[in-house]
Structure 1
Amino acid sequence: MSARHSPLLACVLAVTALAVQPAFAADLATPAPLPGMAAAKAPVPACDDSAVQSAVARSIARAIPSYYDGVTVQGASHILETGVVVGPENPYAKRYCSAQLALSSGMVNPAYYVIAQNYGFVGVSWNVETCMTGKDKWFVYGANCSTVMMPPSQ
């Protein structure tokens, strides 16, 4: 790399570091317990955490537009934890959740999602995988969203 490219590279790295740092700081925050019940001890946020709900909406929005018929998520209700996988036999904690998603089409659709530890950018933080029942045309998440519905049997 030539000397004239060094300042440009330094500037790009500095901007990237500033843009990424707040997102990771929010992702690593201690999750709040679910309303009315104690959340299972897992190093991932609760199902109803606002950052998780934003990630659910983003996961639907980033799909090929024709896959979900171009709908976007407007909100979520009836958010429930359906299971947790955490412990020495599992290297990564996962929290399984369900919700009713209000869509831009005016419809409400059931959805399931899993919040997985260390599945975020370069293995840092957490990630969300979302499946809307009846809308998974290619069965990416198994029949009727089975792979994100509940934890696998031990």
Structure 2
Amino acid sequence: MSATRKFVRLLATAAAAALTVSVAAEGRAANLFELNFWLSGPRYDAVVPLCEESWPLLQIQKAFAEKERRFWNSDLAIVGFERVHEVKFMPWASGTIPRRFCTGRVLTSDGKARTINYSVAENTGFAGASSDVEWCVVGLDRNWAYNPACKMARP
């Protein structure tokens, strides 16, 4: 038997075994292997960081400073957050990616306070292995990704 044929047979056996495991485990959340390779469809735990937790706020702070520096040649940075609160949690149909929508105010290094809208979503980070944050600071959406006035960053 050729090496290619052996490899194909091994690959088919592994795929069948993974499918059997995923079908047998209908009541559990997907493991890391299933999440990364999308073998049996999405199964979410709805475990999403809260709006006020430090992790999403630090992610926004870092990403904002990097975006300003790399794309707008600006030293503008977020120096603080205030009045951060949840707007909606999982506002869409059942089975969609769990998201927590938040809003608040950011204090920027130019001394201004601006509104920020952001969402934290489960399993949307690198390779689907972690949560991720999407954000928009009203008045600083220079590439109009969430135009008009960051409306597209809200539910």
Shift of 1:68: 8.5
1:117 aligns with 2:122: yes
Deviation at 1:122, TM superposition (A): 0.9
Read off the aligned partner of 1:134 and give its amino acid letter.
G
Q: Determine which structure has the larger strand proportion and give its number.
A: 1
How many angstroms apart in 2 are the aligned matches of 1:123 and 1:63? Answer: 23
Out of 67, 76, 80, the residue aligned to residue 75 of structure 1 is: 80
Work out the number of aligned pairs and report it: 110
Task: Quote the residue 2:143 is aligned against.
Answer: 138
Q: Which residue of 2 is the match for residue 60 of structure 1?
A: 64
**Does the residue aligned with 1:100 lie in a helix, a strand or coil?**
strand
> Offset at 1:59?
2.0
Unmatched 5+ stretches in structure 1: 1-40
Q: Which residue number in structure 1 is paired with residue 96 of structure 2?
A: 91
Unaligned runs of 5+ in 2: 1-44
Give the CA RMSD over aligned residues: 2.2
What TM-score comes out, normalization by structure 2 length?
Answer: 0.64
Structure 1's consecutive aligned runs of 4 or more residues displaced over 2 angstroms after TM superposition are 64-70, 86-91
* Structure with greater Cα Rg: 2
Q: CA 1:115–1:75 in 2, change beyond 3 Å: closer, same or farther?
A: same
Identity value in percent: 25
Q: Deviation of residue 124 (structure 1)?
A: 0.9
State the TM-score, normalizing by the size of structure 1.
0.64
Cα displacement (A) at 1:45: 0.4
Higher helix share: 2
